[in-house]
A and B are shown apart, each in its own frame.
Chain A
Amino acid sequence: MDMQATKKKLGLKEKYAHMTRGLDWETTYQSMDKVFPQAAFEGIKIHDWDKWEDPFRLTMDAYWKYQAEKERKLYAVLDAFAQNNGHLGVTDARYINALKLFLTGISPLEYVAHRGFAAAGRNFPGVGPRVACLMQSLDEVRHAQTQIHALSNYNKHYNGFHDFKHMIERVWYLSVPKSFFDDAFSAGPFEWMIAIGFSFEYVLTNLLFVPFMSGAAYNGDMGTVTVGFSAQSDEARHMTLGLECIKFMLEQDPDNLPIVQKWIDKWAWRGTRVLTLVGMMMDYMLPKRVMSWKEAWEIYFEQNGGALFNDLARYGIKVPECLSQAAIDKEHISHQAWATFYQYSGAADFHTWMPTDEEMDWLSAKYPNTFDKYYRPRFTHWREEAEKGNRFYNSTLPMLCQVCQIPMLFTEPDDPTQICYRESEYQGEKYHTCSDGCKHIFDNEPDKYIQAWLPVHQIYQGNCFPEGTDPTAEGFNPLAEVLKWYHVEHGRDNLDFEGSEDQKNFAAWRGMATKNV
């Protein structure tokens, strides 16, 4: 028919425009301000939401189609992994501890990201960003669930995976990632986009999902790797959304620049601090290593982030000042964090250990400026003490940073032998932070950070014992009671890897696989 011949098939851009643009309207029976009550309070000025560019032009039917394809593949791998006892194929059972930190510290955040993007997807007055945010919200629930489903099989065989929902709200080090997301979700929708859409997704998740997951593959964990890479494929869309959002704000009004810059400074630093945990996972918790934390940082943060900041310079965005400290810290933080978890292993939900000689040699080679000078003597001493039956467990509670909530373990930028102390005063009360970056964040919004639920302070206030515990009773052991409140089973979930139930089970099960019995 003639009609058919003349009717040109719509191109991707055109089709997408019809499918989304124009779905919304200027409300008149209710004011736009009432329909979108969160659009203005942060001070961001938007004049024309139609200027929003949607780089990935996914309609819902295409979304369902491609995502279902990914899910089919992913669950086929997970089923095979479970059926074939894939967990026994990992290089070394120490590796499994990285997964515990992943499930307790990261998967719950994916869930909060889902809720936060649902909120952003409701709150922006433009249809383009709303649809992109909602798809991201959907992806984030995917990530939470696929991670839980992948690690469910590990939970059946190893300790420490068993109560992640309970732990994320309580355990001291999990308050680091939790408070990061609480901070972002309690902010307005535009700041949320900088915090999660830009800093977390664009600048930081590559570091988590790409080199770490490649490391998981290297350590024989195909289940987790598939989940990680499959999640990261959604991140490509998320990063693009984050970048688009930042450009959009900057292009809409010059008054947005200082606000956006302040958020970039804040969230680049918040994110960098949280990544300390990932640095430690890469350098210490992967028995076979693909690259060091420092190398990953250089590739995915310095080069990639550098390209990004070069690009944003045309809007007047400056590289956050705090990143000069991050460039110094990259040589230290993984070691400092591991030293922390090693000594507080009594209060952690995973096992720790001291590196072998061979591993220390690898660390010296990767960190020629710092490892032998500052960290090897300490680690060698601890290992020798452990061999003598004197494994060091620190049982005195540490001082925490009021903002990032990490114990005050970071050193001065110009002196790696000196802990960095920063202090602020607000309404007659003292507050301590671990760095100029965190102090700056506190000083900008003290009314927010004075509310922080700091685990150490909460323990001392008596809020972290099981219900009905009497702290005045004879023989009251506060640390034992805190562990019970955490649902960390002492002697099973915590302490050194050496002698752990995980170690014994893995060895026994592997033995069954390699011997004829």
Chain B
Amino acid sequence: MAVKALKHYQFPAADTQDKFHGNQLVYVGWDKHLFFCAPFAFCLPPNTRFGDLCDKVLPQAFSAHPEWSQVDLSKAVWKKSGQPWQPDMNKTLAELGIGHKEALRFETPGLNGIQGSCS
């Protein structure tokens, strides 16, 4: 719907990809693990290999959780924009069609957070 304004009202989006110096944003959330209060935002080159995201980037963010050591991301159940999705660890974000500001989530069946509280 159009904004009702007194004069012409159109402004560029504040967060388009060109403003991130060659990088893009990707969000990643670990479902049923509210220990981390919200999904994370990462700023990465589009040619980042998905495997590198999993092996090098995500551990820094998630390793404070006592269950992280049991997580095998290659067996995680992924969603992209809320839809079931299967990543290929050898492909890059760009090749996998993970665009700027894509939201990814993963579930780790069998791991239910601290004392099963989904924390």
Residues of A with Cβ closer than 8 Å to B?
A: 37-38, 41-43, 188, 336, 339-340, 343-344, 373-378, 381, 392, 394, 396-400, 407-409, 411, 417-419, 421, 423, 426-427, 429-432, 443-448, 450-454, 456-457, 460-462
Inside 8 A of B5's CB, which chain A residues have their CB?
41
Establish whether residues A42 and B31, one from each chain, have CB atoms under 8 Å apart when the complex forms. no
Does B106 count as interface, using CB distance less than 8 angstroms? no
Known contacts A374-B117, A377-B117, A454-B14; 7 further A-B pairs (Cβ under 8 A): A408-B39, A418-B32, A419-B31, A419-B39, A451-B14, A457-B14, A461-B20
Q: A493: shortest Cβ distance to chain B, in Å?
A: 21
* Measured CA separation A421–B41 after assembly (Å): 14
Binds A, one of B48-56, B68-76, B84-92, B94-102: B94-102
Which residues of B19-54 have CB atoms within 8 Å of chain A's CB atoms? Answer: 19-21, 23, 25, 27, 29, 31-32, 34-43
Residues of B with Cβ closer than 8 Å to A?
A: 1-6, 9-16, 19-21, 23, 25, 27, 29, 31-32, 34-43, 60-61, 64, 66, 81-82, 99-103, 105, 113-115, 117-119
Establish whether residues A417 and B118, one from each chain, have CB atoms under 8 Å apart when the complex forms. yes
Q: A489: shortest Cβ distance to chain B, in Å?
A: 24
Inside 8 A of B43's CB, which chain A residues have their CB?
460
* Measured CA separation A372–B6 after assembly (Å): 52
What are 23 A-B pairs with beta-carbon distances under 8 A? A41-B5, A374-B119, A375-B117, A378-B114, A378-B119, A381-B35, A394-B36, A399-B40, A399-B103, A417-B32, A419-B38, A421-B29, A421-B105, A423-B103, A429-B16, A432-B103, A447-B10, A451-B13, A457-B25, A460-B20, A460-B43, A461-B15, A461-B20
A456's closest neighbor in chain B, by CB? B41
Q: A265: shortest Cβ distance to chain B, in Å?
A: 13
* Measured CA separation A427–B15 after assembly (Å): 13
Main secondary structure of the interface of B (DSSP, over half): loop
Establish whether residues B37 and A340, one from each chain, have CB atoms under 8 Å apart when the complex forms. yes
Establish whether residues B41 and A397, one from each chain, have CB atoms under 8 Å apart when the complex forms. yes
| Neighbour of B15 across the interface among A41, A340, A418, A457, CB < 8 A | A457
Inside 8 A of B119's CB, which chain A residues have their CB?
374-375, 377-378, 381
Establish whether residues B117 and A398, one from each chain, have CB atoms under 8 Å apart when the complex forms. no
Establish whether residues A448 and B21, one from each chain, have CB atoms under 8 Å apart when the complex forms. no
Inside 8 A of A454's CB, which chain B residues have their CB?
14-15
Inside 8 A of B114's CB, which chain A residues have their CB?
377-378, 381
| Neighbour of B39 across the interface among A398, A457, A460, CB < 8 A | A398
* Measured CA separation A336–B15 after assembly (Å): 27
